[in-house]
Amino acid sequence: MKNIVVVGSQWGDEGKGKIVDWLSSQADVVVRFQGGHNAGHTLVIDKKVFKLRLLPSGIVRDGKVSILGNGVVIDPWALLDEIKEIKKKGINITPENFMISETASLILPFHQEMDELREDAAGKGKIGTTKRGIGPCYEDKVGRRSIRVMDLRSKSNLESRLENVLTHHNLIRKGLKKKILKKDDLKKELLKIAPDILKFAKPVWLILENFIKERKKILFEGAQGILLDVDHGTYPYVTSSNTVPAMAATGTGLGPNKINYVLGITKAYTTRVGSGPFPTELKDKIGESLGKRGKEFGTVTSRKRRCGWFDGVLVRQTIKIAGINGIALTKLDVLDELKEIKICIGYNLNGKKLDYLPSASEDQFNVKPIYKTFPGWQNPTQGIRNISDLPEKAKNYIYALEDFIGAKISSISTSPEREDTILIEDPFKT
């Protein structure tokens, strides 16, 4: 038995959906442990495209249990819409194969409105939020005033909890000269959907413990990437939750000693959505080419992603912070046409060489990358499934990455298709 955590080692959008789906063929249970419907996964299975936002990637496979842990914030209306959408594509979703932690916090309409108000008013200081209400919901959770899934079971309890949270939000809304929210209106809307949500609600921590006793294989699926972690990312240009693998324990109620392997999903170049520092960003034809070939548009927002060279310094840093055991390298084929390829191996900040990203936001914006250049292979790698079939220069690039970041590359993805994967080391069998 082995339980694996899958996380993004960069700023998200590394291709976790495909890798999690590929690994879930061996897993019995797939669990989301943080984030909300701001996290998009695109799966391509037998030419059919699935765009998931809240549902774990395992939901598209028969015989798997998919779970949203207590660390996830859930927009109940968005979740029900996504379930309907996936059911139309022939996927069966029942309380037996899909469960929600009863202690997960709910994203309510005023969270999304607050998110939009803040972001629109931020001017040049925009974070790049998806405006889905994720941050304000996490704020209410930490402030001990959020509405949780279990609160939908009792009308009187829901009324009390709504009174508490609306006292806080209406004070802010009054200051912003926005419409004051009425408790009864929101209560009515929540009670209307309560049965559809509550049928999936379970004590997830207990269910996972029982799965462990039954020696089930559990796959924990992270959202976003480690560089967006609220503590360890490029703060304040981060998400509102911890995206590091340790959150898999906190966000589900499973002890950290039950996690056996951490797999870091790493793109063969670097991308970022939204604002924030990006030392290796390419604002030229090469950057445009990477975006076009890699189809770099967000699953949730369709926003264009910023593209740049592989930042070995950052990935090496996230590997250490996250305790990553192995790397799944994705989108290697996007680099096929380039004459030369660069890897960032250090930074220069005001004449001083650094081998890590400094913590201060101002310094993060000002560091200049130090590159090592490699010759491109200029041969197609798309669809290759055996490492020996890769061009020699592609293999040299891969080995150079592996050597610099200090972690074994356990698999290489050569297209969005599930089968187009070069397996070097199986995390479930290591």
Looking at 273-428, list the stretches that DSSP marks H as alpha helix, in order from N- to C-terminal side: 285-293, 312-322, 361-366, 392-405
Give the Cα separation of 78 and 66 in Å (integer): 17
Among the options 41, 111, 169, 232, which is catalytic? 41
Give the Cα separation of 194 and 255 in Å (integer): 30
- The yes-or-no answer on residue 37 being catalytic is no
Closest to 315 measured CA to CA, from 280, 288, 341, 339: 280
Residue with structure tokens 């408790």? 183
Residues 6 or more apart in contact with residue 26 via CB below 8 angstroms: 217, 426, 428
* Tokens read off for 7: 């996380």
Give the Cα separation of 100 and 204 in Å (integer): 7
* Tokens read off for 101: 């932690």
Give the Cα separation of 82 and 387 in Å (integer): 37
The DSSP code for 352 is E
Query: Hey, is 133 helix, strand or coil?
Result: coil
* Tokens read off for 142: 């930490």
* Residue 116 buriedness (CB in 10 A; 0-12 / 13-18 / 19+): middle
| Residue 66 · residue 30 · CB < 8 Å | yes
Give the Cα separation of 206 and 272 in Å (integer): 37
Q: Report CA torsion sign: 347, 351, 353, 358.
A: negative
Among the options 13, 115, 333, 420, which is catalytic? 13
End-to-end Cα separation, the chain, in angstroms: 11
* Tokens read off for 289: 């080419």
- The yes-or-no answer on residue 13 being catalytic is yes
Catalytic residue numbers read 13, 41
